[in-house]
Amino acid sequence: MNDIESRISSSFFAQGLMKTLGATLMSVSEGEVRISLPFSAALSQQQGFAHAGVITSIVDNACGYAALTKAPEGHDVVTAEFKVNFLRPAIGTSFLAVGKVVNAGRLLTVCTGEVFAIGDAQSAPKLIAVMQATIATVSSKA
Amino acid sequence: MNDIESRISSSFFAQGLMKTLGATLMSVSEGEVRISLPFSAALSQQQGFAHAGVITSIVDNACGYAALTKAPEGHDVVTAEFKVNFLRPAIGTSFLAVGKVVNAGRLLTVCTGEVFAIGDAQSAPKLIAVMQATIATVSSKA
Amino acid sequence: MNDIESRISSSFFAQGLMKTLGATLMSVSEGEVRISLPFSAALSQQQGFAHAGVITSIVDNACGYAALTKAPEGHDVVTAEFKVNFLRPAIGTSFLAVGKVVNAGRLLTVCTGEVFAIGDAQSAPKLIAVMQATIATVSSKA
Amino acid sequence: MNDIESRISSSFFAQGLMKTLGATLMSVSEGEVRISLPFSAALSQQQGFAHAGVITSIVDNACGYAALTKAPEGHDVVTAEFKVNFLRPAIGTSFLAVGKVVNAGRLLTVCTGEVFAIGDAQSAPKLIAVMQATIATVSSKA
């Protein structure tokens, strides 16, 4: 692991929520981060599908960490805001969130995210949600 | 409990995620729903505050159920999209999400949501996040 | 006019677009700005109603200038992003946009905006659009 | 021109605002529409750059018409909501808005839009804004 991978990996493991949800950091590359989440009933909304808040949680992290790959040393990122469109019910055995940097500014980085539902081996992953997010770059306190 | 309260209450209890997070349905009135969530380390982001995805989960539900109070009988609601601004770190012993209907259309209902962080008895609740959401009204399958 | 009113008024008059659209700065108070726009066919979409882009233009300005009332001296504001929900067709003889500050941070100010359609003397103004916007505070280039 | 091109072209010409702004419909293909706009001082914000509302107007149209290429016959589209991030100042001699369909549902179509600033022949077009929009498909009246 290089520096930024190890830093994002440490941050990911420090998140209580990612453990609670059962999410895994899949890959980190410059400007792009992938997070995977197996479905379980503990993550459901009222119809038994994955809750919009769960889908949002993993794609928010994917976008935030994608932004972090572009942040200067000694800086951290915080989500200023995001918008998510839900395209179809979150039905799958697992979900893959992909966050990508669209533009990295000095103060604000804009990312887009996609979430795919993965079912059985026969069916292709389905795009179920798209995010557009604004991530603020802040000086690390330490 | 009247009909709509009992329907929303049943739906809330059917959500695995609300149990996983530890959230409570606080109140239901026409066009407004409140949900409360005590903080725990299982809900944290990397700095130990509540994760944006957790805050989003409860205010998404508050908005969705507020929309449901306005839906005609035989109809259900699904979140089409939302946008959330995070105003300050989600630091508190508990969080209160308030969802309100701005406009209930035939197909789409627009809601706004607010999330407040509640600390010790000495300090006033602080507004930490605001949502603007589009909820689709769909015919119940049954 | 006090300082901030006169500064916003000058800025408003410097906008070619506001003149092109025919918009008027109605009022400026701390954290709230109102802009009015008479309808004309030059502002229409294909069905003859006011175009979403026109409605957005005036409420973006109302939000941006509301944020400016909270900015420290020597600073200007730029719109980082906004989201607008359109609640009903923009039909009216004029439109009133109201922008309000929800939270003024050091770097980012979050505002909400509302646009009302005003018809004949008999009918009440109708809420036709709501905005949630993020405005960045930047140092003025002198 | 095929049917959908001619229908979108007619609709575009029926928009008073596109004429007021000076915008041109550049291309229509299945799921993608491009609109061009030369800059003029009549479209400026206070610093002399193109106003966010102008940029939004053309990319809203590009997204809406992209959605229309996917709508069943006898149906029209209306913008339910959109979100726009502004990445850098809108400085250019002209602007190109590209709208693309991400997912076409029965009731709601989700599109993404990009706006590029075009300068002199030496410099590459710059991405200045990105949109994520929800377009409702409605039955045509008449």
**pLDDT tens-place string over residues D67-112:** 999 999 889 999 999 999 999 999 999 999 999 999 999 999 999 9
Please give the pLDDT value at position B141. Answer: 67
Report yes or no: D29 and D69 within 8 Å, Cβ to Cβ.
Answer: yes
| Percent of chain C whose predicted confidence (pLDDT) is above 70 | 98
For residue D110, which residues of chain B lie inside 8 Å, CB to CB? 81
Residues in chain B: 142
Report yes or no: B32 and B86 within 8 Å, Cβ to Cβ.
Answer: no
Burial class of residue A137, CB neighbours in 10 A (0-12, 13-18, 19+): buried
Report yes or no: C131 and C84 within 8 Å, Cβ to Cβ.
Answer: yes
B124 Cβ under 8 Å from any chain A Cβ: no
Would you call B141 helix, strand, or coil by DSSP? coil
Give the Cα separation of B62 and A45 in Å (integer).
Answer: 13
Give the Cα separation of C26 and B131 in Å (integer).
Answer: 28
Give the Cα separation of C101 and C30 in Å (integer).
Answer: 9
Would you call D72 helix, strand, or coil by DSSP? coil
User: Any idea what the Cα angle at residue A64 is, between residues A127 and C104, rounded to 5°?
Assistant: 115
The half-sphere exposure of C33 on its side-chain side, counting CA atoms within 13 A, is 25
Please give the pLDDT value at position A141. Answer: 67
Per-position DSSP letters for A27-85, written without gaps between them: EEETTEEEEEEE--GGGB-TTSSBPHHHHHHHHHHHHHHHHHTTSPTTEEEEEEEEEEE
Residues paired with C132 in a beta bridge: C83, C112
Q: Do A79 and B56 touch (CB under 8 A)?
A: no
Q: What is the dihedral of CA D71, D73, D75, D79, to 10 degrees?
A: 20
Least confident segment among B24-33, C55-64, D1-10, D14-23? D1-10
For residue D83, which residues of chain A lie inside 8 Å, CB to CB? 83, 132
Q: Which uninterrupted H or E stretch holds D94?
A: strand D94-104
Q: Do B20 and A43 touch (CB under 8 A)?
A: yes
For residue A83, which residues of chain C lie inside 8 Å, CB to CB? 83
User: Tokens 């508990």 label which residue?
Assistant: B94
Distance from CA of A122 to the nearest CA of C (A): 38
> Which residue from B minimizes the CA distance to C103?
B87
Give the Cα separation of C130 and D64 in Å (integer).
Answer: 19
The closest of C85, C83, C84, C94 to C123, measured between CA atoms, is C94
D136 Cβ under 8 Å from any chain A Cβ: no
The residue-averaged pLDDT of C77-101 equals: 97
Report yes or no: B110 and B84 within 8 Å, Cβ to Cβ.
Answer: no
Instruction: Assign 3-state DSSP to chain D and report helix, strand, coil percentages, each to 5.
Output: 25, 45, 30
Q: Do D11 and C61 touch (CB under 8 A)?
A: no
A127 Cβ under 8 Å from any chain C Cβ: no
Give chains near D: 3+ CB pairs under 8 A: A, B, C
For residue D54, which residues of chain C lie inside 8 Å, CB to CB? 17, 53, 57
Residue range A89-113, pLDDT digits in tens: 999 999 999 999 999 999 999 999 9
Distance from CA of A19 to the nearest CA of D (A): 30
- Which residue of D76, D78, D85, D108 is the best one to mutate when testing the B interface, meaning the one whose CB has the most B CBs within 10 A? D108
Closest residue to B108, CB basis, from D80, D83, D110: D80
User: Any idea what the Cα angle at residue C100 is, between residues C98 and C103, rounded to 5°?
Assistant: 165
Which 8-37 residues of chain A touch chain B by CB within 8 A? 11-12, 14-17, 19-20
Residues paired with B27 in a beta bridge: B34
> Could you tell me the domains of chain A?
3-139 (3.10.129.10)
Give chains near C: 3+ CB pairs under 8 A: A, B, D
- Which residue of C107, C132, C139 is the best one to mutate when testing the A interface, meaning the one whose CB has the most A CBs within 10 A? C107
CA distances from A94 to A23, A51, A72, B4 (A): 10, 13, 33, 33
CA distances from D125 to A108, D66, D108, D116, D117 (A): 21, 21, 31, 6, 5
Give the Cα separation of C56 and C60 in Å (integer).
Answer: 6
Give the Cα separation of A128 and B61 in Å (integer).
Answer: 19
Q: At what angle do helices A52-68 and B52-68 cross, to 10 degrees?
A: 150
| Percent of chain D whose predicted confidence (pLDDT) is above 90 | 92
Strands A126-139 and A108-118: antiparallel
Residue range D21-73, pLDDT digits in tens: 999 999 999 999 999 999 999 999 999 999 999 999 999 999 999 999 999 98
Please give the pLDDT value at position D56. Answer: 98
Strands A126-139 and B24-29: unpaired
Task: Please determine, for residue B123, whether its predicted confidence score (pLDDT) is greater than 90.
Answer: no
Please give the pLDDT value at position C2. Answer: 84
Report yes or no: A59 and A79 within 8 Å, Cβ to Cβ.
Answer: no
Which 80-109 residues of chain B touch chain D by CB within 8 A? 80-81, 83, 107-108
The closest of A39, D70, A128 to B81, measured between CA atoms, is A128
Distance between the two ends of chain C, CA-based, in angstroms?
A: 23
Q: Do C105 and B112 touch (CB under 8 A)?
A: no
Q: Do B44 and A11 touch (CB under 8 A)?
A: no
The residue-averaged pLDDT of C54-81 equals: 96
User: Tokens 């980085």 label which residue?
Assistant: A109
Q: Do D132 and A88 touch (CB under 8 A)?
A: no
Residues paired with C126 in a beta bridge: C117
- The three-state (H, E, C) secondary structure of D102-126, written as one string: EEECCCEEEEEEEEEEECCCCCCCE
Q: Do C14 and D40 touch (CB under 8 A)?
A: no
Distance from CA of D125 to the nearest CA of A (A): 14
Give the Cα separation of B36 and B58 in Å (integer).
Answer: 8
Q: Do C20 and D12 touch (CB under 8 A)?
A: no
- CB within 8 Å of A97: residues ≥ 6 apart: A34, A35, A36, A37, A55, A58, A59, A61, A62, A113, A114, A115
Report yes or no: D85 and D129 within 8 Å, Cβ to Cβ.
Answer: yes
Report yes or no: D85 and C80 within 8 Å, Cβ to Cβ.
Answer: yes
Residue range B3-53, pLDDT digits in tens: 999 999 999 999 999 999 999 999 999 999 999 999 999 999 999 999 999
Task: Please determine, for residue A86, whether its predicted confidence score (pLDDT) is greater than 60.
Answer: yes
